[in-house]
């Protein structure tokens, strides 16, 4: 995700359009809105901003979402769905490890898509996310006292395009028009006031309940780029709780009548452990007396230093990820300008201290780490609503886009890393006389030949009136809108006939695929260059042959010159027919150029040059 500053701020218009920012989290979700320059989270009737991302399909037929659903997890473990973000946009076969640790059933549906099975009903992960989003929408609507129809929804920076698209689908199912999918670290940086005004490198450290993500962002000329991400999808505050829970269980009398594995006992112990942990964030020691009925009473006093020693290996694991992210981004620690904290677990003093020591930078803590992502999303939402013109938030295209030209080469119209929205028009022509239709194949990738790129779609432009090759002027326009959707149109300029196609270049393309395609282009650069050169030389030779033949029909030449041109022409045709290599074809073209260039009055030369110019635009 990228951000770019636009021109001078325009006066704010009233009434303002309403677009909310939504943090759709693995554990909790929430919405925020920005009015004027002030971003604020939207709270429910009890004043709570966080909505647990939990859906319970109660046996009595009710669908319950949020806090109440979370409270029902123990009563209906196989009917209460949580952490569905771990399944969204993925194949069922990829979710195996995740699904095994979830108490509800995940099965493979058609096309290997995961389905959550509750009783005899099946739900897609998007449908479950949609229920959470509906609750967020309803909460936002009551807080604002007006309908909410448009939103910016955040996703982890490492989400691939299928996961992003699935998140958009979930928003649509919830009745929300998702104007933009925003990377969580970019949102967090925006919340901390890092708005692209100043160039720099930012580390976003996000430690939540169950997941850890670190991202390195580069801000350059107002553009935000995610340089690298690392993390652990099973590391967070819940692991701190689990370690404290062990301490509590160990403090239970051995004579306890109820086994400690009882889910209700475990739940109570976990809740007490979390409470202890939270107190230890502000106190240097905490005491607990937990009455577990038949299981006995656990009495415990724990110092912060003891807790810190217990969790230190887990904190170290997060720093190992930070190290990896820096390495992948090719950024040295001393090149970091800002360190930003996100996620409830960054309130743990040891986490802050270790990160500060590791990076040599005091992390930003002025924004509530639970709310930062939603607040940042609301800033982006406000920009998209058109209420703040001082900031223009843009994405970049991960891979170049182009069309296949004569001989199987790809002419790139939009280059990789271009900020979107963007557009470009180029003129092409026909390769054969009286051609009434052209095939346009749209490709994505960095390689020179179409066969090495990814075919995104094809369409045909028909209805071109019969004309000599090279005469039709076909303007091909690539337009990528703010959502990354590509529209390609082709228009024959003389007649106005037009055709087009719309594709989502990023759909189904994973992060790894983008990386692989990039690496391949570097690896094959030399070979691609030669192959491309061979095609270009061949196209040029064919165009010269056609152009010279046409010119010979038009011009009246002295016999000796006619002979020389015919001879060079025949030689070049022979080379073409024999499939000669680039060097021989180049030499053949040079010979033909030499004889046509010396002809009196340059009759042929001018005609050939004109024909060539037209041909080369193809």
Which residues in this chain contact ligand AMP in the complex, by CB under 6 A? 27-28, 208-209, 236-238, 274, 277-278, 281, 343-345, 347-348, 370
The distance of closest approach from Cβ of residue 426 to ligand AMP in the complex, given in angstroms and rounded to an integer, is: 47
Active site residue 370: no
Spatial distance between the Cα atoms of 359 and 337, rounded to a whole number of angstroms: 10
Active-site choice (23, 528, 542, 615): 23
User: What Rg do the C-alpha atoms of the chain give, in angstroms?
Assistant: 32
* Between 41 and 537, CB nearer to ligand AMP: 41
Question: What's the first-to-final CA gap in the chain, in angstroms?
Answer: 35
The distance of closest approach from Cβ of residue 139 to ligand AMP in the complex, given in angstroms and rounded to an integer, is: 16
The distance of closest approach from Cβ of residue 239 to ligand AMP in the complex, given in angstroms and rounded to an integer, is: 9
Active-site choice (85, 168, 412, 550): 85
Pairing mode, strands 474-480 and 422-428:
antiparallel
* Opening angle at CA 615, ends 611 and 617, nearest 5: 125
* Between 27 and 405, CB nearer to ligand AMP: 27
Spatial distance between the Cα atoms of 209 and 28, rounded to a whole number of angstroms: 9
555: buried, middle or exposed (CB in 10 Å: 19+, 13-18, 0-12)? buried
59: buried, middle or exposed (CB in 10 Å: 19+, 13-18, 0-12)? exposed
* Between 238 and 542, CB nearer to ligand AMP: 238
The distance of closest approach from Cβ of residue 40 to ligand AMP in the complex, given in angstroms and rounded to an integer, is: 18
* 3-state SS class at 194: coil
* Between 314 and 469, CB nearer to ligand AMP: 314
* Between 4 and 281, CB nearer to ligand AMP: 281
Distances 422 to 42, 222, 419, 485, 503 between C-alpha atoms, Å: 34, 16, 7, 11, 15
Sheet containing 105-108, strands listed edge to edge, beginning at the edge strand earlier in sequence: 105-108, 114-118, 121-123
The distance of closest approach from Cβ of residue 369 to ligand AMP in the complex, given in angstroms and rounded to an integer, is: 7
Spatial distance between the Cα atoms of 119 and 79, rounded to a whole number of angstroms: 8
Active-site choice (206, 238, 395, 528): 206
Active site residue 23: yes
Spatial distance between the Cα atoms of 577 and 54, rounded to a whole number of angstroms: 69
Active site residue 452: no
Active-site choice (44, 126, 160, 184): 184
Spatial distance between the Cα atoms of 593 and 434, rounded to a whole number of angstroms: 27
The distance of closest approach from Cβ of residue 354 to ligand AMP in the complex, given in angstroms and rounded to an integer, is: 14
The distance of closest approach from Cβ of residue 83 to ligand AMP in the complex, given in angstroms and rounded to an integer, is: 11
Pairing mode, strands 20-24 and 150-155:
parallel
Distances 114 to 161, 312, 459 between C-alpha atoms, Å: 17, 36, 33
Active site residue 206: yes
* Between 7 and 47, CB nearer to ligand AMP: 47
- The C-alpha torsion from 94 through 95 and 97 to 99, rounded to 10°, is -160
* Between 370 and 615, CB nearer to ligand AMP: 370
**Which residues are tagged catalytic?**
23, 85, 184, 206
């Amino acid at each position: 995700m990228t951000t770019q500053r636009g021109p001078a701020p325009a006066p704010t218009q009233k009434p303002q359009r309403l677009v909310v920012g939504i943090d759709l989290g693995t554990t909790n979700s929430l919405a925020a809105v920005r009015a004027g320059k002030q971003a604020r989270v939207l709270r429910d009737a009890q004043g709570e901003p966080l909505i647990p991302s939990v859906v319970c399909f109660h046996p009595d037929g009710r669908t319950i979402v949020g806090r109440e659903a979370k409270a029902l997890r123990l009563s209906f473990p196989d009917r209460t769905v949580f952490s569905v973000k771990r399944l969204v946009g993925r194949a069922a076969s990829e979710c195996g490890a995740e699904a095994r640790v979830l108490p509800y059933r995940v099965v493979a549906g058609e096309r290997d898509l995961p389905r959550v099975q509750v009783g005899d009903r099946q739900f897609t992960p998007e449908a479950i996310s949609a229920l959470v989003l509906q609750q967020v929408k309803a909460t936002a609507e009551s807080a604002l006292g007006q309908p909410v129809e448009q939103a910016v929804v955040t996703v982890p920076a490492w989400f691939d395009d299928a996961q992003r698209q699935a998140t958009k689908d979930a928003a649509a199912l919830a009745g929300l028009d998702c104007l933009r999918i925003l990377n969580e670290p970019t949102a967090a940086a925006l919340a901390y006031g890092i708005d692209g005004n100043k160039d720099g490198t930012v580390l976003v450290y996000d430690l939540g309940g169950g997941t850890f993500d670190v991202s390195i962002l580069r801000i350059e000329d107002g553009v935000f780029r995610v340089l690298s991400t690392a993390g652990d999808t099973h590391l967070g505050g819940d692991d701190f709780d689990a370690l404290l829970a062990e301490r509590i269980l160990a403090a239970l009398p051995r004579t306890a009548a109820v086994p400690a594995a009882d889910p209700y006992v475990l739940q109570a112990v976990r809740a007490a452990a979390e409470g202890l942990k939270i107190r230890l964030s502000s106190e240097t020691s905490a005491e607990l007396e937990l009455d577990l009925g038949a299981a006995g009473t656990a009495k415990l006093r724990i110092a912060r230093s003891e807790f810190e020693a217990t969790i230190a290996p887990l904190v170290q694991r997060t720093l190992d990820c930070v190290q990896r992210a820096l390495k992948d981004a090719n950024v040295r620690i001393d090149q970091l300008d800002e360190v930003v904290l996100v996620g409830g677990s960054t309130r743990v003093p040891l986490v802050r201290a270790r990160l500060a020591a590791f990076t040599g930078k005091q992390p930003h803590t002025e924004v509530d780490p639970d709310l930062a992502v939603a607040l940042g999303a609301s800033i982006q939402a406000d920009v998209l609503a058109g209420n703040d013109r001082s900031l223009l938030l843009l994405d970049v295209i991960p891979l170049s886009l182009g069309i296949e030209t004569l001989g199987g080469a790809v002419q790139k119209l939009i280059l990789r890393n271009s900020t979107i929205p963007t557009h470009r028009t180029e003129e092409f022509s026909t390769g054969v006389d009286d051609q009434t239709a052209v095939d346009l194949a749209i490709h994505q990738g960095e390689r020179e030949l179409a066969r090495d790129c990814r075919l995104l779609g094809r369409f045909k432009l028909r209805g071109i009136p019969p004309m000599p090759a090279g005469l039709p002027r076909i303007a091909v326009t690539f337009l990528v809108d703010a959502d990354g959707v590509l529209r390609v149109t082709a228009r024959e300029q003389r007649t106005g006939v037009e055709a087009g196609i719309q594709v989502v270049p990023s759909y189904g393309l994973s992060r790894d695929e983008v990386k692989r395609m990039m690496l391949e282009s570097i690896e094959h650069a030399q070979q691609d260059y030669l192959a491309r050169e061979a095609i270009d030389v061949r196209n040029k030779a064919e165009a010269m042959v056609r152009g010279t033949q046409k010119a010979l029909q038009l011009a009246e030449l002295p016999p000796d010159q006619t002979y020389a041109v015919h001879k060079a022409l025949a030689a070049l045709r022979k080379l073409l027919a024999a499939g000669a290599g680039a060097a021989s074809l180049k030499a053949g073209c040079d010979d033909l150029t030499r004889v046509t260039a010396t002809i009196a009055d340059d009759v042929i030369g001018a005609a050939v040059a004109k024909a060539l110019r037209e041909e080369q635009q193809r």
